[in-house]
């Protein structure tokens, strides 16, 4: 019982998909932690840590193409699906996230 | 499917290299490979033979493919066995021992041998060379020369070409007195003109050699061993040994014997195939392509690649188009580099030369249509790497010819990259060392772009890009692989800029996503987005469909991102002119938003730094000043000196010109930022001569227009585009250049790079003389861009989307 409650508490409705213009990212603060959420032009959503592991660049301000993210400060590159560094020596923490079919809400599945 | 039989006749640099290239293309799955090698060893670097002779290399250090390599790759190698016959109908090659090898595909790489000019007494009765007479082609020749030289006093080298001089220098190491006997009027006639040849003679004589020119050797004297030479003019020279180095002759006999077309070499087409037999190829010094037989290694490498592409089916369209030939002489203490032709061939050929006979320095370049077609460097060859590359790629030369010959005003350049320590930092922005670049090359990245992508070297300010490229080439041993994407405007759309512009206009593509959909197979590339957005805005102006996600964050929020994620705000202030009221307003805003740093910029403006993204619209609203575009890959600003109103030296009104310029070009997207300045006199207080575009007033009411200046990561004085009489003409020609640059520069190419790449002659012809008849169109494009200008800060209270400036969004539940 206890375990189920924890599970439920970690699911977070972030807001409508329309909050994030296609191809861009926005930051949400969940339980005191900032998370960058991206809405790609193909309609998928991804969530990763908000700051670049290199020098703390704001990743939500980066450029997205396909599932590649480029940090705006020094162009470190990451794969949004896995968090893997495509250029740079440290990857990103990723969070499971999906779009709720009925309400078109972005839902963070857990942290 | 059964494997085909591939037989290679010849195991020298051409044969073995071609097999390597075939293996690299997965050839081991298609072919069983058999090789014939006349020499008893694996393949070695023949170019280094003179280094073995002079003792700077040991024999085992010059092997490229040891015998184990053949085993590892399942290649059957017949060492010490010459192929002596070829039956095309039966598809059989015979070894000297009469054993046949069947083939499906055959490669002839028999190389060449020394040409022995007709001289009395060269050979003995049995046809062998007279004891003491040598040629210099193989490792075995090298050993025999070294054995014979021991204890001897004097030697003569017949032939004063590249190889002859290297051999002569090698013989000196055995303590011999060496004479060079040369038929022509100056040394190295293939590579040098008469002046350079004469200076080289002096240099060789300083090394202790005798050089005899215009000497035709008629006979080698001595009954059973060499005693001396007799010349056609009757003179003689005593010597204990003779090396004949009078040129090479292609080994084409095996091909001629079975009816293949042979001229000076075995004739091949652009796929290195014999035109008479599609299953037979020839490569290297035995092959003749479009009338040329090459005796150098670089062409061979190119040929081997094409052959391998074709024979493996990897790229059946691969074609060899001939090579441009450049050489360096490897003689200790004498530096010679040469490329292309040695004397001008048409009246329009431009010759740039420098001669300092006393120090043995001579430099001569032959330039045709702004491109290098020939060059000789003697004594100081520090510019050789750059010039050979320029020659090889046929790239346009910079206007300033002096810099082609000397490094002036630049830090002294390392002679070779071998001398730089592995820890030396090459890219100062991203902290990439020479060692890291070399390691990256060794890990398989074989071109500059791949290395830059992987290491980020050259990806900061970009000023070290050319050095990174040179180091990559050096680390690859000169064999970089061309990455076609270097010619694309952006990496994610496989089109050059003119092709891309045409495609965008033909298909009426007005947004970045449409370009990816129609021209890149629907595949988005993040790094390509800002470049495409910039180009689309330039082409469609007000009709451009702005997609914010395609823009770099600076252009998304019209401010310059800082290291902590805050932004800087720079209001427009053309010419650096402000007013008390404006200053009060700026002060008010700075206090209201607790701006941590207020600073004057290099462009004579005021920068408010450390502003939160959420505050940007409010700051703009309160400032009520237009955007200064200090964040964009765009026209930035035009600064100015005091000009003629107050300055006692001022010749022209630079302030009002700066205001007009700003009004004309403000907000223009461009391939990179454009910083401008106007100066009221040639004292150049506003530094107009080192801006992307500058106007400098000179006596007589005239303005000099400078373009391509730089004073950032590169420093360069601009070139004068033209001199005009009025502010209106300054605007007109600046506008034409700006539009020409916007349409033709690569993304992120500053004007100084563009000007040096395209060349001032071309730019002046188009922009000033209107040689292409596009002047009026360029004017029109500028007028349309100007009409489409909108101050982005004016829309501060009408954001593109409701949370465009939100740094954090609230969570619902």
B454, B440 contact by CB (below 8 A): yes
CATH of the domain at B432: 1.10.10.1100
Which range of residues forms the domain containing residue B654?
A: 633-798
CA distance B403 to B414: 16
pLDDT attached to residue B413: 46
Cα(B734)–Cα(B544) distance, integer angstroms: 24
- Mean pLDDT across B775-797: 90
- Strands B177-181, B210-212: pairing is parallel
What would the mean pLDDT of B469-495 be, rounded to a whole number? 82
B346 burial type by CB count under 10 A (0-12 exposed, 13-18 middle, 19+ buried): exposed
Distances (CA, A) of B39 to A108, B35, B43, B82, B522: 71, 12, 9, 8, 56
Task: Determine the average pLDDT of the residues in B381-400.
Answer: 80
**Residue with the two structure tokens 């700066």:** B658
Same domain, residue pair B532 and B587: no
Q: Calculate mean pLDDT across residues A11-39.
A: 92
| Residue B415 pLDDT exceeds 50 | no
Instruction: Name which residue leads in pLDDT, B797 or B453.
Output: B453
- Whether B437 shows a pLDDT value over 70: the answer reads yes
Residue of chain B minimizing CA distance to A13: B813
Chain A residue numbers touching B614 (CB-CB < 8 A): none
B565 to A57: CB separation less than 8 angstroms, yes or no: yes
Which residue in chain B has the smallest CA separation from A34?
B808
Asked if A23 lies within 8 A of B549 by C-beta distance, the reply is: yes
Residue B527's pLDDT band, with cuts at 50, 70 and 90, is very high
B492 to A65: CB separation less than 8 angstroms, yes or no: yes
Residue B238's domain is classified under what CATH number? Answer: 3.50.50.60
**Contact (CB, 8 A) for B225 and B132:** yes
Residues of B in contact with A68 (CB under 8 A): 525-526
Please check the confidence at residue A73 and state whether its pLDDT lies above 60: yes
Domain match, B464 and B523 both: no
Q: Helix B465-475 and helix B434-442: axis angle, to 10°?
A: 50
- Round to the nearest angstrom and report the end-to-end CA distance of chain B: 64
Residue B806 forms part of a structural domain: no
C-alpha atoms less than 13 angstroms from C-alpha of B137 in its C-beta half-sphere: 23
Q: CB–CB of B525 and A65 under 8 A?
A: yes
Q: What is the pLDDT of residue B255?
A: 94
Residues of chain B contacting A58 with CB distance shorter than 8 Å: 561, 565, 807
Domain that holds residue A53: 2-108
Percentage of chain A exceeding pLDDT 70: 92
Q: B350 and B472 in one domain? A: no
Name every residue in A having a CB less than 8 A away from some CB of B: 12-15, 19, 21-24, 26-30, 34, 41, 55-58, 61-66, 68-70, 72-75, 77, 87, 105
H helices present in B75-131, as ranges? none
Q: Which residue among A26, A41, A72 sits closest to B513, beta carbon to beta carbon?
A: A41
- Domain boundary pick from B631, B657, B674: B631
Predicted pLDDT of residue B382:
79
SS3 of B386-423: the string is HHHHHHHHCCECCCCCHHHHCCCCCCCCCCCHHHCCCC
Task: Decide if B565 and A19 are in contact by the 8 Å CB cutoff.
Answer: no
Contact B813 A63 (CB under 8 A): no
Mean pLDDT of chain B: 90
Structure tokens at B525: 């590339």
In this structure, what token pair is assigned to residue B746? Answer: 């690569």
Range scoring the smallest mean pLDDT among A42-56, B154-168, B202-216, B323-337: B323-337
Categorize the per-residue pLDDT at B411 as very low, low, confident or very high, splitting at 50, 70 and 90: very low
Nearest to B459 among A26, A30, A75 (CB): A75
**Interval B270-297: pLDDT, tens:** 999 999 999 999 999 999 999 999 988 8
Asked whether residue B127 is domain-assigned, the answer is: no
Q: Do B549 and A64 touch (CB under 8 A)?
A: yes
* Interval B733-768: pLDDT, tens: 999 999 999 999 989 999 999 999 899 999 999 999
Best A54, A61, A108 member to test B by mutation, with max B CBs in 10 Å, is A61
Mean pLDDT over residues B186-197, rounded?
A: 93
Q: In which band, very low, low, confident or very high, does the pLDDT at A4 lie, cut at 50, 70 and 90?
A: very low
Instruction: Tell whether B179 and B285 lie within a shared domain.
Output: no
**B362, B354 in Cβ contact below 8 A?**
yes
In this predicted structure, what is the pLDDT of residue B478?
Answer: 67
| Per-residue pLDDT band at A7 (split at 50, 70, 90) | very low
Domain's final residue, options B536, B551, B566: B551
Which pLDDT band holds residue B1 (cuts at 50, 70, 90)? low
Q: Residue B251 pLDDT more than 80?
A: yes
**pLDDT tens digits, residue range B194-236?**
999 999 999 999 989 999 999 999 999 999 999 999 999 999 9
Residue of A30, A39, A41 to mutate when probing chain B, most B C-beta within 10 A: A41
Amino acid B410: pLDDT: 46
- CATH code for the domain of B381: 3.30.390.30
Q: Which residue of B has its CA nearest to A78?
A: B526
Task: Please indicate, yes or no, if residue B318 is contained in any of the structural domains.
Answer: no
Minimum Cα–Cα distance from A66: chain B residue: B524
Would you say residue B658 has pLDDT above 80? yes
Q: Could you tell me if B779 and B640 lie in one domain?
A: yes
Q: In chain B, which residues have their Cβ closer than 8 Å to the Cβ of A81?
A: none
- B688 and B788 part of one domain: yes
Residues B604 and B649 reside in one and the same domain: no
Q: How many domains does chain B have?
A: 7
B693 & B707 share domain: yes
**CB contacts, 8 Å: B564 with chain A:** 56
Please name the member of B561, B565, B808 whose beta carbon is closest to the beta carbon of A29: B808
Query: In Å, how far is A18's CA from the nearest CA of chain B?
Result: 10
Take residue B27 and report the two structure tokens written for it.
């050839």
Q: Among A99, A98, A92, A96, which Cα is nearest to A110's? A: A96
Chain-chain contact of A21 with B553 (C-beta, under 8 angstroms): no
Say if residue B409's pLDDT is above 60. no
- For residue B739, the model assigns a pLDDT of 97
In a domain, B307, yes or no: yes
What is the nearest CA distance from A71 to chain B, expressed in angstroms?
Answer: 10
B762 backbone dihedrals φ, ψ, rounded to 5°: -65, -45
Rg (CA), chain A: 14
Residue B321, domain member (yes or no): no
Please check the confidence at residue B697 and state whether its pLDDT lies above 70. Answer: yes
Q: Are residues B469 and B546 in the same domain?
A: no
Q: Tens digit of pLDDT for each residue in B551-573?
A: 999 999 999 999 999 999 999 99
Longest dimension (CA), chain B: 109
DSSP B675-697: EEEEESSTT-TT-GGGSSEEEEE
Q: What is the pLDDT of residue B796?
A: 63
Residues B558, B526 within the same domain? no
Asked if pLDDT for residue B769 goes beyond 80, the answer is yes
Q: Which residue is closest to A55 within chain B, CA to CA? A: B563
Question: Confidence class of residue B797 from pLDDT cuts 50, 70 and 90?
Answer: low
Is residue B410 a part of any domain in this protein?
no
Nearest chain A residue to B811 by CA distance is A14
Q: Which of B160-169, B550-559, B793-802 has the lowest mean pLDDT?
A: B793-802
- DSSP letter (8 states) at residue B355: E
CA–CA separation, B655 vs B784, rounded Å?
Answer: 25
Nearest-by-Cβ selection for A29 from B513, B564, B811: B811
With beta carbons under 8 A apart, name residues in chain B contacting A55: 563
Residue with tokens 């003109």: B193
The pLDDT of B318-334, averaged and rounded, is: 82
Instruction: Residue A96: give its domain's CATH number.
Output: 2.102.10.10
Is residue B517, in this structure, part of any structural domain at all? yes
Question: What is the tens place of the pLDDT at every residue in B55-75?
Answer: 878 888 888 888 999 999 999
Q: How many CB pairs (< 8 A) connect A and B?
A: 95
Q: How confident is the model at residue A88 (pLDDT cuts 50, 70, 90)?
A: confident
Specify the pLDDT at position B426: 80
Residues B692 and B661 in one domain: yes
Tokens of B519: 């021209």
Given the DSSP bridges, would you call strands B719-724 and B702-707 parallel, antiparallel or unpaired? antiparallel
Q: From A57, which residue of chain B is nearest by alpha-carbon distance?
A: B565
Q: In chain A, how many domains are there?
A: 1
CA distance B742 to B634: 10
């Amino acid at each position: 019982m206890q375990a189920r409650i924890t599970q439920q508490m970690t699911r977070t409705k972030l807001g409508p998909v329309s909050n994030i213009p296609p191809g861009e990212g926005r930051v949400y603060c969940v339980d005191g932690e900032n998370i960058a959420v991206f809405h790609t032009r193909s309609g998928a959503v991804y969530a990763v840590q908000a700051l670049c592991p290199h020098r703390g660049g704001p990743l939500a301000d980066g450029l997205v193409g396909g599932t590649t993210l480029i940090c705006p400060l020094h162009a470190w590159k990451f794969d949004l699906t896995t968090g893997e560094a495509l250029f740079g020596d440290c990857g990103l923490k990723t969070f499971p996230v999906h779009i709720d079919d009925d309400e078109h809400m972005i839902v963070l599945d857990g942290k | 499917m059964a494997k085909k039989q591939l037989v290679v006749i010849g195991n020298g640099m051409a044969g073995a290299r071609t097999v390597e290239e075939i293996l690299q293309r997965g050839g081991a799955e298609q072919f069983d490979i058999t090789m014939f090698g006349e020499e008893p060893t694996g393949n070695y670097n023949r170019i280094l033979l003179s280094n073995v002779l002079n003792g700077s290399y040991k024999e085992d250090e010059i092997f490229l493919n040891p015998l184990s390599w053949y085993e590892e790759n399942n290649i059957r190698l017949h060492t010490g066995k010459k192929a002596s016959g070829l039956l095309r109908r039966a598809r059989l090659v015979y070894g000297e021992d009469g054993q046949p090898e069947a083939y499906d595909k055959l490669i002839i790489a028999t190389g060449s041998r020394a040409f022995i000019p007709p001289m009395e007494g060269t050979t003995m009765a049995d046809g062998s060379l007279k004891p003491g007479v040598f040629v210099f082609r193989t490792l075995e020749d090298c050993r025999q020369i070294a054995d014979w030289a021991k204890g001897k006093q004097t030697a003569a080298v017949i032939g004063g070409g590249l190889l002859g001089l290297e051999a002569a220098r090698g013989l000196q190491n055995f303590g011999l007195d060496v004479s060079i006997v040369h038929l022509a009027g100056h040394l190295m006639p293939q590579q040098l003109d008469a002046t350079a040849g004469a200076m080289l003679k002096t240099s060789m004589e300083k090394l202790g050699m005798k050089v005899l020119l215009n000497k035709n050797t008629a006979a080698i004297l001595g009954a059973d061993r060499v005693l001396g030479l007799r010349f056609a003019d009757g003179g003689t020279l005593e010597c204990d040994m003779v090396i004949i180095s009078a040129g090479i002759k292609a080994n084409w006999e095996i091909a001629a014997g079975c009816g293949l077309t042979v001229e000076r070499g075995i004739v091949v087409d652009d796929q290195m195939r014999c035109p008479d037999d599609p299953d037979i190829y020839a490569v290297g010094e035995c092959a003749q392509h479009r009338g040329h037989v090459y005796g150098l290694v670089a062409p061979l490498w190119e040929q081997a690649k094409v052959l391998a592409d074709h024979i493996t089916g990897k790229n059946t369209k691969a074609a060899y188009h001939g090579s441009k030939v450049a050489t360096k002489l490897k003689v200790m203490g004498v530096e010679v580099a040469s490329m292309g032709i040695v004397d001008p061939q048409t009246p329009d050929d431009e010759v740039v030369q420098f001669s300092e006979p006393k120090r043995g320095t001579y430099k001569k370049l032959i330039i045709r249509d702004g491109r290098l077609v020939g060059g000789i460097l003697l004594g100081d060859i520090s510019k050789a790497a750059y010039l050979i590359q320029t020659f090889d790629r046929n790239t346009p030369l910079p206007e300033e010819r002096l810099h082609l010959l000397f490094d002036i005003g630049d830090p002294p350049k390392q002679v070779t990259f071998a001398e730089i320590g592995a820890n030396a930092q090459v890219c100062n922005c991203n902290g990439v060392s020479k060692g890291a670049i070399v390691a990256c090359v060794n890990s398989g990245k074989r071109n500059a772009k791949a290395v830059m992508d992987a290491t980020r070297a050259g990806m900061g300010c970009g000023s070290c890009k050319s050095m990174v490229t040179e180091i990559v080439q050096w680390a690859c041993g000169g064999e970089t692989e061309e990455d076609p994407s270097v010619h694309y405007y952006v990496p994610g759309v496989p089109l050059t800029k003119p092709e891309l512009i045409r495609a965008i206009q033909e298909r009426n593509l007005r947004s970045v996503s449409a370009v990816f959909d129609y021209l890149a197979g629907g595949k988005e590339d993040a790094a390509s987005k800002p470049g495409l957005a910039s180009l689309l805005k330039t082409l469609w102006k007000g009709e451009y469909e702005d997609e914010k996600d395609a823009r770099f964050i600076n252009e998304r929020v019209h401010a310059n991102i800082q290291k902590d994620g805050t932004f800087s705000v720079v209001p427009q202030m053309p010419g650096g002119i402000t007013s008390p009221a404006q200053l009060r307003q700026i002060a008010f805003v700075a206090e209201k938003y607790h701006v941590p740093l207020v600073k004057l910029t290099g462009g004579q403006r005021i920068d408010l730094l450390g502003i939160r993204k959420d505050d940007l619209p409010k700051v703009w609203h309160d400032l009520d000043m237009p955007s200064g575009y200090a964040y964009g890959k765009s026209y930035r600003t035009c600064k100015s000196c005091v000009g003629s109103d107050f300055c006692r030296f001022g010749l022209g009104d630079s302030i009002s010109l700066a205001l007009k310029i700003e009004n004309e070009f403000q907000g223009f997207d461009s391939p990179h930022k454009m910083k401008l300045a106007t100066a009221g006199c040639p004292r150049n207080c506003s530094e107009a001569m080192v801006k992307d575009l500058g106007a400098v007033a000179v006596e007589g009411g005239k303005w000099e227009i400078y373009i391509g200046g730089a004073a950032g990561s590169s420093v360069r004085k601009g070139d004068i585009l033209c001199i005009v009489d009025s502010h209106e003409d300054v605007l007109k020609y600046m506008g034409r250049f700006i539009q020409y640059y916007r349409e033709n520069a690569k993304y992120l190419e500053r004007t100084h790079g563009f000007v040096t790449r395209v060349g001032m002659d071309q730019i002046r012809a188009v922009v000033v003389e209107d040689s292409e008849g596009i002047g009026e169109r360029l004017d029109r494009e500028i007028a349309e861009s100007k009409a489409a200008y909108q101050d982005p800060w004016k829309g501060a209270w009408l954001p593109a989307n409701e949370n465009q400036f939100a740094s954090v969004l609230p969570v619902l539940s």
